[in-house]
Amino acid sequence: MKQKKVEEFRYYEMPVGRFDRALLGEKWITTYRTGEQHFHNFFEVGYCYSGGGVVFLGEEAPEYKPGTISLIPSNFPHGVHSAEGSVCSWEFLYLDFAGFLEKCYPEDKYRRTQILQQITQFPILIHSEDYPSLSGVVRAIFEENRQQKVLNLEAVCGYMYVMIQELIRLYEDMNAEHNKEVLHVEKIRPALVHIELHYDEEIKIKNLAEICNISEAYFRRLFVNCMKVSPLEYINTVRIQKACELLKKQDIPMTTLAWKVGYSSVSTFERNFKKIVGDSPKQWRLKSKKDKEFVSYQTRVLRGW
């Protein structure tokens, strides 16, 4: 029997009033060593300026080189690994598309859901020369974060809107040529979006299967095959991510926090929090106050084969 693989969950907090966080500068010039793959709570965009190696995307490991752009939806395991002796320069963006779309279309939940489905289908590695329009938008968001000029927020929001259009077109092109495995992922995509939008409600696996128009037994098998975790493990991961976001923003009683992220029992909430994060909610809140930008979770989410 194969030993279960594990990933680290790395959490980023968005600055107040923004939908983007950029990791810039010399700190990200290094020799990358993947170790265990990790995943994030926001959509990640990476831009490689120099060096080479591979990007682990689940079970795949496509190569990267200068000009490579990585587009990785939230909750997807990945990691950058430099070639032997290669010092690489990357910069990264974390984008809250769900929050941005809610601002753009506050009264149209259906449209927000459809767009979110279209732009978070699967991870992609592209080259800037092949997609100059998308590359230009990514670089422009980096520069807005680097220079911090007047009307910076408005400019970034404009670029994010254009980026959404570019991503929709990109995925349309990719879907025309993509393999059968990706089509399997698309079968459960409605369930993933439903979990993201309704994590604070009761979610039954049979209802997720109905949303995807497949049987519950097939849905469970397909979900594990595509996501490498069970539907329940995935739901708990999303809920704990949302709990962490609330803990970072406000001092909230545990009973209220549990209810806000979909748990009717505080003990069940605290048990899942400890399992995924490695600390109790109160311990994690104290640690997070010491680090305003990034919190690395100690515990892993098991991937079941």
Helix (H) or strand (E) holding 235: helix 231-249
Strand 38-40, strand 5-12: pairing: parallel
Does the pLDDT at position 138 exceed 60?
yes
AA identity, residue 70:
S
Per residue in 226-278, pLDDT (tens digit) is 887 899 999 999 999 899 888 888 888 999 999 999 999 999 999 999 888 88
Break the chain into its structural domains and give their ranges: 1-178, 180-305
Cα angle 170-64-302, degrees, rounded to a multiple of 5: 85
Residue 70 is predicted with a pLDDT of 96
pTM above 0.85, yes or no: no
Is residue 127 within 8 Å of 67, Cβ to Cβ? Answer: yes
Q: Contact, 273 vs 280, CB < 8 A?
A: yes
Average pLDDT over residues 38-47: 92
Question: DSSP labels for 132-195?
Answer: HHHHHHHHHHHHHHHH--TTHHHHHHHHHHHHHHHHHHHHHHHHHH--HHHHHHHHHHHHHHHH
What pLDDT digit, counting tens, does each position of 172-205 carry? 887 765 555 555 677 898 999 999 999 999 999 9
Q: What share of the chain is helix, strand, coil (3-state, %, to 5)?
A: 50, 20, 30
| CA–CA distance, 171 with 167 (Å, rounded to integer) | 6
The answer to whether the beta carbons of residues 40 and 87 sit under 8 Å apart is no
pLDDT in the model for residue 29: 93
Query: What one-character DSSP code corresponds to residue 29?
Result: E
pLDDT class of 145 with cuts at 50, 70, 90 = very high
Going through the chain in order, the beta strands assigned E by DSSP cover 5-12, 20-23, 29-30, 38-40, 43-50, 53-57, 63-64, 68-72, 78-82, 88-95, 124-127, 294-303
CB 210 within 8 A of CB 187: no
Output the CATH code of domain 1-178: 2.60.120.280
Say yes or no: domain 180-305 is CATH 3.40.50.2300: no
| pLDDT tops 60 at residue 299 | no
Q: What is the mean pLDDT of the chain?
A: 86
pLDDT given for residue 5 in this prediction: 53
Give the whole-angstrom CA distance, residue 15 versus residue 235. 25
The backbone torsions φ and ψ at residue 107, rounded to the nearest 5 degrees and listed phi first, read: -105, 0
Collapsed DSSP state (helix, strand, coil) of residue 262: coil
- pLDDT value, residue 305: 20
- CA dist 154 and 157 (Å) reads 5
200-220 pLDDT tens trace: 999 999 999 999 999 998 899
In 3D, which of 112, 266, 303, 277 has the Cα closest to residue 196? 112
**The pLDDT value given to residue 182:** 54
